[in-house]
Amino acid sequence: MIPAPFDYHAPQTLEEAFALLETHRDEAKVLSGGQSLLPLLKLRLGAAGHLVDIGRIPGLEYIREEGGFLRIGGRTRESALERSALIHARYPLLAETAAVIADPLVRNLATVGGNLAHGDPANDHPATMLAFRAEIVATGPQGSRTIPIDQFFLGLFQTALAPEEILTEIRIPEPPPRSGGAYVKLERKVGDFATAASAVQVTLGAGGEVARVGIGLTNAGPTPLRATAAESLLSGKPPSDELIAEAARQAGAAATPSADRRGRVEYKREMARVLTARALHRAIQKAIQMGGGH
């Protein structure tokens, strides 16, 4: 399959990229790893008059802790997350997410920023970033602004990014001691989108109670979904098996998936419940293991 014709641009700096985006506005799309955008153009589900490839702009691929945040450059490859010792040691939720996105060859090109900026609720990082309470750094001709993740996803394939803005960084608050996370995904086969998936990031208090918890659901509605009722239920309480079961039930009830070849609505809701229970158990177990702090 061959995409409809477009013009390709390879700016060398962010400034050049902004100028192109300002000129071509709605006609332009940012090309990052291309693993969602190019299939979309090939299948002619979408069209773009101009592709602005950010692949040759230096300084957009990094993973580092700084100023209380884990900072991930927008064009960082998924495979870089998979290989990062820092991610494996401190951010198990991210490590588990990166390992189940598409397949290893796709992850060699696919980027974290692209996974988010695409605005697809079937992608995996949106739920992860909801669970982390991350912030998105959007950079445009006038400079950078940060967008809380809860205000980033506006609708199906719609985000808070302005046409001339580029997602340059993701900021995840550094986890306090006694924190853990897990991503549990049900997929029919490697490379498929999630039938359902649940991302959990939890921090336990000194007494073992849930001090902070984030729960994000993948493919559970037109936008990535935060399971707010389940989060409120858990907060401040010791995470007993009964409480986890009830929180998972509320997360499943919050899901509004649509029926497709992966299953009926009822099945997907039930899977969201089951996977959230598993993710909560695993995240809490990891938080207990990380009891000593960093």
Residue numbers at the binding site for other proteins (CB under 8 A)? 1-8, 10, 34-35, 38-39, 41-43, 51, 53, 55, 79, 102-106, 108-109, 190-191
Min separation Cβ 192 and other proteins, Å: 9
Nearer to other proteins, 109 or 147 (CB): 109
CB of 106 to other proteins, least distance (A): 6
Minimum distance from residue 253 beta carbon to other proteins (Å): 33
Residue closer to other proteins by CB (options 108, 256) is 108
Q: How far is the CB of 114 from other proteins (least distance, A)?
A: 12
Question: Please, what is the minimum distance in Å from the beta carbon of residue 244 to other proteins?
Answer: 30
Distances from the Cα of 175 to the Cα of 70, 107, 126, 128, 214, angstroms: 9, 25, 18, 14, 12
CA distance 64 to 85: 11
Min dist. Cβ of residue 34 to other proteins (A) = 6
Nearer to other proteins, 3 or 141 (CB): 3
Residue closer to other proteins, measured from CB, 185 or 226: 185
Q: Which residue has the tokens 């299953």?
A: 263
Residue 285 CB, nearest approach to other proteins (Å): 23
Q: Considering the complex, state which of residue 5 and residue 143 has its C-beta at the smaller distance from other proteins.
A: 5
Q: How far apart are CA 200 and CA 93, in angstroms?
A: 7
Q: Which is nearer to other proteins, 22 or 103 (CB)?
A: 103
Label residues 218-230 b or e (16+ Cβ within 10 Å = b).
bbbeebbbbbeeb
Closest to 120 measured CA to CA, from 72, 156, 152: 156
Length of the chain: 294
Pairing mode, strands 196-204 and 210-218: antiparallel
CA–CA separation, 235 and 212 (whole Å): 6
Which residue number, 73 or 216, has a Cβ lying nearer to other proteins? Answer: 73
Least separation in angstroms between residue 198's CB and other proteins is 22
Q: Where are the beta strands (DSSP E) in the chain?
A: 7-9, 28-31, 50-53, 63-66, 69-73, 135-140, 143-148, 153-155, 158-159, 166-173, 179-186, 196-204, 210-218, 225-226
In terms of Cβ atoms closer than 10 Å to its own Cβ (0-12, 13-18, 19+), residue 36 is: buried
Which residue's CB is nearer to other proteins, number 49 or number 221?
49
